[in-house]
Structure 1
């Protein structure tokens, strides 16, 4: 696979994917996928299990050397997974600063990032003392302290309870509005995709079967007609049908 690292501009896409293909054994997971993501655009990627969502995200994050095709991505990027992946033997501040030079300035930046996710008071705490939502906020701080041009989110709220998830949605929206990265969110949750994204993409059998802009004004309400019309459309594309609890 050819991967170019770029400096995005107002006119250049942050991500350019052309003919991206991935085969595991005899199973074709990504089938010639093409996608552009604009600077500051928030894209949600939906699809059934095994449709290739996380595989594509890993390709964008340069975590899969076996992917074929062409990718052009920014050098400055960060990934947040469903598992916060904090080092249990390091305190919270060190986890946020991991992989960066350890000096007064980077530690101050890390503390400022923790303050933005309302966790400055936990800087000296051990990861095992954090709740699930707190650990995921630390993971967000760790990603955003690097000021990425591209933020990759692989079901980061999937393991959280409903109330914590709602709070995390609000926090993510605030942080994205401030830092303005391009975002690719992999999720199984149709409502989450509509609430957060500028565009929702459905992946079917390794290819994009639907790309729909979300033109509902923010803040968005699940009770609005526009929200439910788009929800029904996406569920139909996913082959789920209009089931109240479908995600």
Structure 2
């Protein structure tokens, strides 16, 4: 297979990949970019019809093999099928993209919705990573790209559970990256800011394009980087978030949350 990267590059071309949340948004962009790089795919999401349509398009356009695995990753039985697939037929790259967040005051939201966020954003990501890593370590080659968020680095009033889950993903990924040093397996946390799922609108100072986010993440894990923050504006913001007094950060986040709630 022809490498998608220039000769002499330190990046790695993955021959096979499993992408969760692949039917839309950033997940769809991951699938399209990987197919364009010649990667055979396993696409996972709840909507079988969307996955089938995307798979047919990618097979026809890029001549790659695409397997569809419809599963709700918050359901232990369906998630178990994906875990089994990763153990039985290992892939070289796992993209843990599936996730969601609910907006609203924590005490006013149904507890079940909050627990589903943890189940998808944390438990499913951790279980799929655990299923994928042994095969990668045995082969001495592989990557795991975990989609976190800039929300993981700051207080997130109005989306407290979402922010907490993304903080877990970033910390978990960095720890695994350190654990796996020297094994040939890389774990990367992708931490985008606001990202448009509608590709017809242009990016601006606040909003990123989903394709740019997906490309940055894929290049980062292939290059063996622990952390990827797409967009110059968010790269510049991250050091400020780390050094700003937490009281000021909480106050600023609270003002933003209240203003957003008033305009909804």
TM-score normalised by L of structure 1: 0.36
Q: Which has the higher strand share?
A: 1
**Would you tell me which structure has more helix in proportion to its own residues?**
2
Taking structure 2 as the reference length, the TM-score comes to 0.35
